[in-house]
Structure 1
Amino acid sequence: MTEDFQQNTRDRLYAGMEAAPGDFAFDDSVARVFPDMISRSVPCYCDLVKLMAVLARRFLHPDARCFDLGCSLGAVSAALLGQYRHLGLRVVAVDNSQAMIDRLNQRLAEEVAGGRLQARCEDLTEVDTSGASLLILNLTLQFIAPEQRLALLARLRERLQPGGGLLLAEKVQCANPDAEHLLAEAHAEFKRANGYSELEISRKRAALERVMRLDAPEVHAERLRAAGFTQVVPWFQCLNFMAWAAWA
């Protein structure tokens, strides 16, 4: 790999008076600091990425094709290619942010040049995933309009190869108010411990409110089944972040 995912510019986007107002967007300013932002904002993020690569083995075969949907800078794509190069794995990394795709192509230039990785800037609700053995949605579905989520998952399920599966990770919102308060406060404390100020935490929360719509864990599991996945297995939780494996 061309660059360690954790090494990048320090995230100070919401620290000063120059912080941009409005909704959160995956633009070039975010892409520039994204590795630092995600590692300081999502507990156990690096472990989550590594475990996704471990769980992926269940669905891979020689020359398998994987789609990393909402790939950002390609952390999961890089982990998969690093671990399963011997299988001849090919990864299609898709994001609707051109800034993310441009930086992914720079960071993983060797994989792109070698034909193991193809990066596309596309709308995730329209991408054709035909031929996929593995689908990855790592903190992605929460940015898709709620009314589009079931249709997206159903289409992904329909185009999966026999024996294929989906790995889904999401920030969740608990239906129980006490549980939600506990986890939300712990998450805020996690960010404080990683050097974010109260101003930064508050500003980023406000920027995300209208673009990141969270579901309860039960909603995710029920929706996966409604989309046609008969097996839905939760395999990760760290504070208010969870992950599932799903297959037919």
Structure 2
Amino acid sequence: MSFFSDPDAVARYAEGPVRLVPGFDGLQRMTTLLLRERVPATGNVLVLGAGGGLELKRFADAEPGWRFVGVDPSAEMLKLAEATLGPLNARTQLHEGYIDTAPPGPFDGATCLLTLHFIPAEQRLQTLKALWLRLLPGAPLVVAHHSFPQAPDDKARWLKRYAAFAVDSGVPAADAERAIAAISEKLPVLSPEADQALMTEAGFEGVELFYAGFSFKGWVGYKPR
């Protein structure tokens, strides 16, 4: 999306998730805890959609022995990630591109937060399979993104709730309305059932919902041992 190549918009990126994603801080904390269940103290974690660096910094602050590979298609967002990480860059490798750009690993865990809703279903499955290939047996994948029923009335109801949360967080109502129109028209959002089925089809087992915040859902799944 053009937003992620606009330097001014990117500079304001950190304001967005807190205002638009219900429980964003809790989502990051829960993701850290889910990784910690399986990732060893000196583990390697792959972060797909790493631009901005918010989750990279959270993970790195929480676990001083972890090392990271971050992948994102936006050069501007990766610059922001570098600035956000500061001295933590010493434990992080950043790559511009998509999942196929990521090194083969294998990694002890992976995350993909607020990213998969940009990817069409057929490409999303390939992305999940590519993540699976890069993980060690037993390693977790944690994902979270827009996911809500796709019947027209249901879709409209959940998008209105997304907009209401944004307005309650201080976003101008006109901006919130434009946002839900863009999501409805441009994002290839899937239903929660379809999202979970794709993770299973990609080879992950034990797939469980761990987070639900209005239009956002999050799952954890594992590569079989």
TM-score (norm 2): 0.90
Measured after TM superposition, the shift of residue 212 of structure 1 is: 2.3
CA contact (8 A) 1:157 1:228 kept: yes
Corresponding position of 1:16:
none
Mapping for residues 142-157 of structure 1, pairs under 5 Å: 142-157=117-132
**Larger deviation: 160-169 or 196-205?**
196-205
- Note if contact 1:24-1:204 (Cα within 8 Å) is conserved in structure 2: no
- Is this contact kept in 2: 1:24–1:211, CA < 8 A? no
SS state of the match for residue 162, structure 1? coil
- Number of matched pairs: 222
Counterpart pick for 2:164 among 189, 207, 226: 189
Match of 1:82 among 40, 61, 71: 61
CA RMSD of aligned residues (A): 1.9
* Deviating more after overlay: 229-238 vs 119-128: 119-128
In structure 2, the residue matched to 1:120 is 95
SS of aligned partner of 1:180: helix
| Larger helix share, 1 or 2 | 2
1:213 maps to which residue? 188
- CA–CA distance in 1 between the matches of 2:8 and 2:118? 18
Could you list the runs of 5+ residues in structure 2 that have no partner in the other structure?
none
Residue 12 of structure 1 corresponds to: none
Code of the residue aligned with 1:191 in structure 2: it is: A
CA shift for structure 1 position 58: 1.6
Distance 2:185 2:49 in 1: 18
Contact 1:70 1:124 in 2 (8 A): no
The residue type paired with residue 81 of structure 1 is A
- Cα deviation code 1:96-136 (max 9, x no counterpart): 11111111111212011xx2112221223442342111110
4+ long deviations beyond 6 Å: none
Question: Aligned pair 1:228/2:203, yes or no?
Answer: yes
Q: Is the 8 A contact 1:171 1:240 kept in 2?
A: yes
Per-residue CA deviation, residues 127-179 of structure 1 (Å, 9 max, x unaligned), is 23421111100011111233211111112112211221100101112145554
1:159-198 alignment, distance < 5 Å: 159-175=134-150, 177=152, 179-198=154-173
Q: What corresponds to 2:81 in structure 1?
A: 104
With structure 1 as the length reference, what TM-score do the two structures score?
Answer: 0.83
Q: Give the match's secondary structure for 2:3.
A: coil
Report the counterpart of residue 139 of structure 1 in structure 2. 114
- Tell me the residue number matched to 1:47: 26
CA contact (8 A) 2:41 2:63 kept: no
Q: Which amino acid aligns with 1:123?
A: Y
Q: Which runs of 5+ in 1 are unaligned?
A: 1-22
Could you list the per-position Cα deviations for residues 180-217 of structure 1 after superposition, in whole angstroms to 9, with x for gaps in the alignment? 34332222111111222232123333444555210100
